[in-house]
Amino acid sequence: MTDYPQPTPQDERSYPFDKIEPKWQKFWRDKGLFKVDTASYKDKFYCLMMFPYPSAALHVGHGRNYIIGDVVARYKMMRGFNVLTPMGFDAFGLPAENAAIKGGIHPEESTLNNIKTMKRQLDQWGVEYDWDRIVISCDPAYYKWTQWIFTKLYEKGLAYKKKAFVNWCPSCKTVLANEQVVNGACERCDSEVLQKDLEQWFFKITHYAERLLKDLEKLPNWPDRVKAMQKNWIGKSEGVEIDFKIENLADTLKCYTTRIDTIYGATFIALAPEHPLVEKLISGSPDEKNSLKAINKMRAESKISRADAEVAKEGVFTGRFVINPVNHEKVPIWVANYILMEYGTGAIMAVPAHDQRDFEFAKLYKLPIKVVIDDPKHPLDAGTMKEAHIGEGIMANSGQFNGMKSEVAVEKIADYFEEKKMGKRSTQYKLRDWLISRQRYWGAPIPIVYCPKCGIVSVPEKDLPVLLPKNVEFRPTGESPLKFSEDFVNTKCPKCHGPAKRETDTMDTFVDSSWYYLRYITPKLKDKPFDTGLVNRWLPVDQYIGGVEHAILHLLYSRFITKFLFDIKMTGFDEPFKNLFTQGMIIKDGAKMSKSKGNVVSPDKLIADYGADTVRLYTLFIGPPEKDAEWSDRGTEGSYRFLGRVWRLVEKIHSSSLRGAEGDEAISKVKIASAASQPRNDSLKRKTHLTIKKVTEDLDGGFHFNTAISSIMELVNETYDLSVSEIANDAVKQKVMSEAVEAIVILLSPFVPHIAEELWSNLGKPSSIFRMKWPEYDRSAIVEDVVTIVVQVNGKLRSKVEVPSDIKEEGLRQMVLADPKIKEITSGKTIKNFIIVPKKLVNIVIG
RNA sequence: GGGCAAGUGGUGGAAUGGCAUACACGAAGGACUUAAAAUCCUUUGGCCGCAAGGUCGUGAGGGUUCAACUCCCUCCUUGCCCACCA
């Protein structure tokens, strides 16, 4: 048995982060480091992070967004910008309402509690904001203006009401947003989502479809991925709308096609079950009753299964025919479940030979298949084809167009249709109008009043906000909870002052978040949503940072609202976010971090164990920030070790040993590095300036935090090669060393602000480090007198030679060929080519 | 079916035409310690070799080039988004 004392755990902490982090956080807040006076907009930089929904608590995956934003803000600050970084909360929404139904706590209470928790977490991370500008979307002072935007859209005819099919969860008894429907089932309870036909409010985003598409070109600094997703979502296609004459009826049937070149191959027409002409077409047909029954079945089914692509094709013949205008053939009209009423005209000309869906349908109902686009080398045979020929080819069986390339015929036939007035060119979009009404409680009420005399009346600005009443029974019944609040519903008509009723639906929370970035500039303004003059100075946002999951919805809606506000001259810009950065997700155990999967890593414990700087550093070092990354608890220890190394470097070498030249015992034992080709002080000075260059380029050229940090690690490693005794007696080395250490601290400061601030002050420098100028590298310090040239023979590395950096070609050639290894390899061989990449490489090509 | 990413050591990743594997994790060994932790140092792609060195090697196959992880073509795999969109 031993009687030695047990180890004490105090040394587990290699530097006192628990003391310094709260200290500097308080310092920044007391000094108002992040407070901005928007009146001075010279060198402004608007750094915006997507504001969060206030859920219970943040995990380290959320943290990535805020940490990245904080690094950008601090870096830009040191580059002399007047940086605005505000934060707020997207505080309306279903989760709080559901929690309230379960737990009985009012959504407002739980939301405000969650905001408190999240704010504390952000504070502990050392992520700083101008909190005076906080914007909370459930605050009446904010949603007043959300409602105001609604009324403006309504005035311009861009907010309207219509009957529409919406997603309905029978078990939650509520309407769901499209994004809450996953593979046809409710996101939360997994029951099958039904469709209900309800009166709904829409924003006419389709009015902006072309501009939303075209203006993507104005956004060169958005990720291509996001632009591609938006483009895809808007889904523009150009084609021809054909007018088909219906045999024995006065009506024309309009069909939209992008493949007018296949018109001669149309062997049937297919209508969506919901097409308005369906009843008229089948009336009088011998099998009218059964047909209608089958069509009604399709109507019911097709809507449920719309989310499910693998539904079998089904159809009913109407008994009617159209006349194909190009060849006067009779073409039968069918009703088919795969045709969508929402797209195009809800009717298509079906060309089985050249469209896979039409092909399957034709096979099923034994309809004719006619090849009109052929490949002369491998002619198609309609009888034996296994699938449709989708691609281009040579026109066949197409009258006057035979022999043309199909891509030419597309234009020729379109011209022909327009000349003969048989149809016209037409552009279609997949984008649908934005359904914004929700039969839910926890949202901004739609500011509309229904008056028996005046009809639909929007609430005038002086009566806004329409306050969300607090005492409402919001248990799900399938109807808007506000319907049951008599005080809320019964009101006076703003026009005739007679009794009237309020709209009881609330707005989609995406409406709240589609303009919040404008509110931050003048967050407390009472008489306007924002000050146009100031907003025009501060926007567009210089850097927007957020998750790619918002690539379509939030970013598209925000662009739409910005364009609308531009059109009504509220703003002078029509794109809100100049630069967009979308960070990757943090993965744990192969899945996205989420509470339901039970793989969340809480920052609170990590910060308690290692400090915020370690968590920040690891989050930034884990990999390229735009990519997903697997979280490893081990990895945090590496970051922690590195910070300890920096701490000891500054504390021991610089502040004590250098001055006293005493030499800390542990440090004096550091080995003296092996001889280098240059004097060590030169090499360290050069490395210092190369590191400044590299870190600056990594931050300016993109968000390459991981490589910036690794280059600082290299510099730290190099300083460890110098021993204390080496420095102590050499004034030049001391200078080089302190320059390196200062560079390390300042270059690290955006990433790990607390330790940097502490070390900076320990070095005797004035606080705050974030009021310092970002260092610039010295060109003369990075030039080399001697460079190492890599010598390849026939592309293979064979040797390295050191040459003066200003060597001429002939001299270099001689030195390279004089190298013993090269001499041996090249002896007796003919040198065919001698390629020189200056200061880098030589490649000798021999026979 | 369409669109977009990505595929490199035991692991996260670096290198965007010029030394493949920087930096870090993990592992092994050493110094310090009664011991451990911490710290500091060394080694660490495979194969052959005592070594010097050689050789193979960035999902697969081809191509362009003096030179390819990088550019081009074909294919495979994984992930994400969209999807009976005419």
Q: Prior bond to A804 cis, omega within 30?
A: no
Q: What is the mean pLDDT of chain A?
A: 85
Which of the 323-342 residues on chain A come under 7 Å of nucleic strand B at their beta carbon? 337-342
| Distance between CA atoms of residues A657 and A378, nearest Å | 85
Q: Which nucleotide is nearest to A799 (CA to C1')?
A: B19
Q: Which nucleotide is nearest to A636 (CA to C1')?
A: B25
Residue A315 has pLDDT above 70, yes or no: yes
Q: What is the pLDDT of residues A6-29, one digit of tens each?
A: 333 334 557 889 889 999 999 999
Q: What is the pLDDT of residue A211?
A: 93
| Distance between CA atoms of residues A166 and A179, nearest Å | 12
- Protein residue closest to B25, using CA and C1': A635
What single-letter DSSP state applies at residue A484?
A: G
Among A110-119, A505-514, A676-685, A823-832, which stretch is predicted with the lowest mean pLDDT?
A676-685
Whether A547 sits with its Cβ under 7 A from any strand B atom: the answer reads: no
| Distance between CA atoms of residues A594 and A649, nearest Å | 39
Whether A675 sits with its Cβ under 7 A from any strand B atom: the answer reads: no
Reference A613, options A39, A103, A126; nearest CA is A126
Whether A668 sits with its Cβ under 7 A from any strand B atom: the answer reads: no
| Distance between CA atoms of residues A741 and A485, nearest Å | 67
How open is the CA angle A538-A543-A546, to the nearest 5 degrees? Answer: 125
Model confidence at A630, pLDDT cuts 50, 70, 90, reads: confident
Q: What is the largest CA-CA distance in chain A?
A: 110
Share of chain A above pLDDT 90, in %: 43
Mean pLDDT of A797-822: 84
Whether A587 sits with its Cβ under 7 A from any strand B atom: the answer reads: no
Q: In this structure, how many other beta carbons lie within 10 angstroms of the beta carbon of residue A220?
A: 10
What single-letter DSSP state applies at residue A22?
A: H
Between CA A768 and C1' B40 the distance (Å) reads 33
Reference A508, options A456, A440, A563; nearest CA is A440
* Whole-complex ipTM: 0.93
Residue A539 vs residues A152, A191, A529: alpha-carbon distances, Å:
21, 44, 15
Among A174-183, A195-204, A552-561, which stretch is predicted with the lowest mean pLDDT?
A174-183
Q: What is the pLDDT of residue A498?
A: 92
Q: Count Cα neighbours of A650 within 13 Å in the Cβ-side half-sphere.
A: 26
Q: Which nucleotide is nearest to A640 (CA to C1')?
A: B24
Mean pLDDT of A411-421: 90
| Distance between CA atoms of residues A169 and A154, nearest Å | 29
Q: What is the pLDDT of residues A37-73, one digit of tens each?
A: 988 888 999 999 999 999 878 888 889 999 999 999 9
Between CA A712 and C1' B70 the distance (Å) reads 26
Q: What is the pLDDT of residue A8?
A: 35
Whether A425 sits with its Cβ under 7 A from any strand B atom: the answer reads: no
Reference A37, options A134, A130, A110; nearest CA is A130
Query: Which residue type is seen at A549?
Result: E
Query: Which residue type is seen at A415?
Result: D
Between CA A283 and C1' B86 the distance (Å) reads 26
Residue A655 has pLDDT above 50, yes or no: no
Q: Which nucleotide is nearest to A584 (CA to C1')?
A: B80
Whether A597 sits with its Cβ under 7 A from any strand B atom: the answer reads: no
Residue A504 has pLDDT above 60, yes or no: yes
| Distance between CA atoms of residues A540 and A843, nearest Å | 50
Between CA A551 and C1' B21 the distance (Å) reads 34
| Distance between CA atoms of residues A115 and A135, nearest Å | 11
Nucleotides of B under 7 A from a protein CB: 2-5, 11-15, 18-20, 22-26, 34-41, 54-55, 66-68, 79-86
Whether A4 sits with its Cβ under 7 A from any strand B atom: the answer reads: yes
Q: Is A763 exposed, middle or buried (0-12, 13-18, 19+ CB in 10 A)?
A: middle
Model confidence at A398, pLDDT cuts 50, 70, 90, reads: confident
Highest-scoring range by mean pLDDT, A5-9, A183-187, A375-379: A375-379
| Distance between CA atoms of residues A248 and A532, nearest Å | 61
Model confidence at A514, pLDDT cuts 50, 70, 90, reads: very high
Residue A579 has pLDDT above 50, yes or no: yes
User: What residues pair up with A256 in beta bridges, in sequence order?
Assistant: A241
The encoded tokens of residue A293 equal 């029954």
